[in-house]
Amino acid sequence: MQTIKAAVCHAFGAPLVIEEVQLAPPGMGEVEVTLDAVAICHSDISYAEGAWGGHLPAVYGHEAAGVITGLGAGVQGFATGDSVVVTLIRSCGTCPSCAGGRPVICETPYDGVNGPLKTAEGKPLQQAMACGAFAEKVVVDQRQIVKIPADMAKDAAALVSCGVITGVGAVVNAAGLRAGQDAVVIGAGGVGLNAIQGARIAGARRIVAVDMSPEKLEIAKEFGATHGVLATEEKPWKAAYKALGGRGADAVLVTVGAIPAYEQAPRYLARGGKAVLIGMPHSGAKASYEPVVLAAVGQGLMGSKMGDVVIQRDIPWMVDLYQQGRLKLDELISGRWSLEQINEAVADTKTGSAKRNVIVFG
């Protein structure tokens, strides 16, 4: 076991504590990655606030990039020194979901409490979301990582691990948006901006961003939105209809965890359209619909986890688009912080004004 620094959650809703923890060497099929950057996702904040329960103490963080510094037995296709992105998508490769091409909903459970992390005293420390990346190093399964060009900035690369694949993937993989179709994206935060980028890349005719902040709507246009609608309007879906030429959207992507957004999503849809539910409300939160309307006009509701991506397939082409200047990553970074500043970075993220705050190491 080696000793590293990590931001540890000891109580839900309490500040994270920077302390030394123990990290085991990589086992069969695992790699050790020394991190250069990890972004702060709203899911990390929700977990740390107790939204979905879980074991404590825990180390959160799952949107990371770094360099491989250790290889376990049986690792194939990777070498020490490779630059990689680290995702939370830990898949077994053999369950029905994995074999069917949907590794994001792998059916094999992962016991993060008995993973590679221990407290300084050797007690259980949860590797949350199979990553525990609010730390100097991680040990993860080889299926969770993807090689990236060595010269790609790690702070930008880290964003691909979650926010980018979730937003772009939801449009391309889950919604299946085709060229010439229309999209509405509810929420213009980090994931929402990537859904907007995904719709632009897919060839959408019109892309309407919906948000409570006029400033965010202006930023959304920089990422590809053709129109912006304030969610604070009495019936914002009517403004969206007007922007779309008098009809609803072929795809509505809900990228926030606010229940009103879920309840309103079907109102933005065209006949035959589908609403893709991406944001993560707290456990126990409920939304209501009038199902007869959905049935009568052939509309659908579907969830999308992590953009339904296959990371080994989807991350390389997204990296290519970034290198070609067709996918914005650097513009998503609102601020860069040290690990010791993580609570300040979390507080800034919670204001809702940040696109993505990134913890950088070294």
Classify 357 as helix, strand or coil.
strand
- Say whether the peptide bond before residue 25 is cis (omega within 30 degrees of 0): no
Other CB atoms within 10 A of residue 20 CB: 12
- The backbone torsions φ and ψ at residue 314, rounded to the nearest 5 degrees and listed phi first, read -90, -35
Instruction: Output the CA torsion sign for 34, 37, 39, 45.
Output: positive
Distance CA 68, CA 160 (A): 17
What values do phi and psi take at 112, rounded to 5? -70, -20
Query: What single-letter amino acid sits at 146?
Result: V
Q: What is the pLDDT of residues 215-257, one digit of tens each?
A: 999 999 999 999 999 999 999 999 999 999 999 999 999 999 9
Q: What stretches in the chain show pLDDT beneath 70?
A: none
pLDDT at 353: 82
**Using CA atoms, how far apart are residues 296 and 312, in angstroms rounded to an integer?**
39
At residue 354, the pLDDT reads 84
DSSP-assigned letters across all residues of 46-74:
HHHTTTT---SSEE---EEEEEEEEE-TT
Nearest CA to 343 out of 5, 9, 66, 88 is that of 9
Radius of gyration of the chain (CA): 20
Q: Assess contact for 280 and 46: CB atoms under 8 A.
A: yes
Any idea which residue has 């880290």 for tokens?
A: 158
pLDDT for 362 = 83
Exposure string of 33-58, with b = 16+ CB inside 10 Å and e = fewer, is bebbbbbbbbbbebbbeebeebebbb
- How many CB atoms are closer than 10 A to CB 299? 21
H helix or E strand, kind and range, residue 185:
strand 183-186
Pick the closest to residue 231 from 283, 192, 200, 202 (CA basis).
192
Give the predicted TM-score (pTM) of the model. Answer: 0.95
* Nearest Cα to Cα of residue 80 among 6, 158, 26, 11: 26
* Residue 116 identity (one-letter amino acid): P
Q: State which H helix or E strand residue 36 sits in.
A: strand 30-40
Distance CA 4, CA 117 (A): 10
Q: Round to whole Å and give the CA distance between 141 and 119.
A: 21
One DSSP character per residue, 215-235 reads HHHHHHHHTT-SEEEETTSSS
Helix (DSSP H) and strand (DSSP E) numbers for the chain: 11, 18
Domains and CATH numbers, the chain: 2-161+316-360 (3.90.180.10), 169-305 (3.40.50.720)
How do residues 156-165 score in pLDDT, each as one tens digit? 999 999 999 9
CA dist 65 to 39, 80, 83, 86, 127, Å? 9, 14, 8, 6, 17
User: What is the model's pLDDT at position 175?
Assistant: 97
